[in-house]
Amino acid sequence: MSTIRLEQITGSDADLKAALTDAHLPTDDIEDSGRTFFKALSADGQIVGFSGVERCDGDYLLRSVVLHPDRRGTGLGKAVVEVTVASLDPGGGVFLATTSAASFFASIGFSEVPRDSVPAAVLATRQLSSICPSSATIMKLIKPPT
Ligand SMILES: CC(C)(COP(=O)(O)OP(=O)(O)OC[C@H]1O[C@@H](n2cnc3c(N)ncnc32)[C@H](O)[C@@H]1OP(=O)(O)O)[C@@H](O)C(=O)NCCC(=O)NCCS
């Protein structure tokens, strides 16, 4: 499917924190329990970016998707999302909140959903309940990556 390989890291990983900070993505809660983060490696072993997931009862919040600036725009971001989603239990819904990349996620099969249709456990995550502005777009994976 892709040449991207994920390796699990902890929320205290300094490179993860730096990449999120540089991209203005939330870092306040990355060391809380219940989150799983990955570094994404290209075929030649270079770190191209990061991703993360939070388990929300049976569903997931996809978060912390970031590509190193010099690796953007070549399809790697899409590949990182697809590999991350492929690692999840297919029975769970996959949600995310974004203020800046809705069309990127739409190109992967996510669609905007109304807040009142989002499971309570997803809404209760720190990302959705306090860190992301209420104007953030909430999206759900409707079409699984092919
Ligand atoms: C968003 C991000 C992960 C995309 O990674 P990328 O490697 O540049 O994206 P890709 O090259 O895989 O692009 C896939 C598609 O999305 C589009 N796209 C990429 N970034 C986009 C953006 N910010 N807004 C809208 N569309 C975007 C591309 O044009 C491409 O469309 P196509 O398939 O029709 O050609 C990357 O720009 C990034 O790290 N941004 C900063 C962090 C961020 O905003 N993360 C999202 C957090 S919610």
For residue 71, give the ligand 1 atom closest to its CA: 7
Separation of alpha carbons 139 and 97, rounded Å? 6
146 is a domain residue: no
pLDDT confidence of residue 37: 98
Sign of CA dihedral 68, 146, 43, 84: positive
C-alpha 72 to ligand 1 mean position (Å): 7
Number of structural domains found in the chain: 1
| Structural domain range at position 107 | 5-141
pLDDT confidence of residue 134: 82
C-alpha 127 to ligand 1 mean position (Å): 20
33 is a domain residue: yes
pLDDT confidence of residue 130: 86
32 is a domain residue: yes
64 is a domain residue: yes
C-alpha 134 to ligand 1 mean position (Å): 22
| CATH assignment at residue 106 | 3.40.630.30
How many C-beta atoms lie closer than 10 Å to residue 118's C-beta? 20
Give the mutation target among 62, 76, 104 for probing the ligand 1 site: most ligand atoms within 8 A of CB: 104
- Report the SS3 class of residue 58: coil
C-alpha 131 to ligand 1 mean position (Å): 21
Q: What are phi and psi of 106, to 5 degrees?
A: -60, -35
In tens digits, the chain (146 residues) has pLDDT values of 468 999 999 999 999 999 999 999 999 999 999 999 999 999 999 999 999 999 999 999 999 999 999 999 999 999 999 999 999 999 999 999 999 999 999 999 999 999 999 999 999 999 999 887 788 999 999 986 66
37 is a domain residue: yes
For residue 49, give the ligand 1 atom closest to its CA: 39
Separation of alpha carbons 105 and 45, rounded Å? 25
C-alpha 57 to ligand 1 mean position (Å): 28
pLDDT confidence of residue 102: 96
50 is a domain residue: yes
As for ligand 1, residues whose beta carbon falls within 6 Å of it are 23, 25, 65-67, 72-78, 98, 100-101, 103-104, 107
CA angle 24/119/103 to nearest 5° reads 40
pLDDT confidence of residue 146: 65
Q: Which residues neighbour 46 within 8 Å (Cβ) at sequence distance 6 or greater?
A: none
pTM over the 0.85 mark: yes
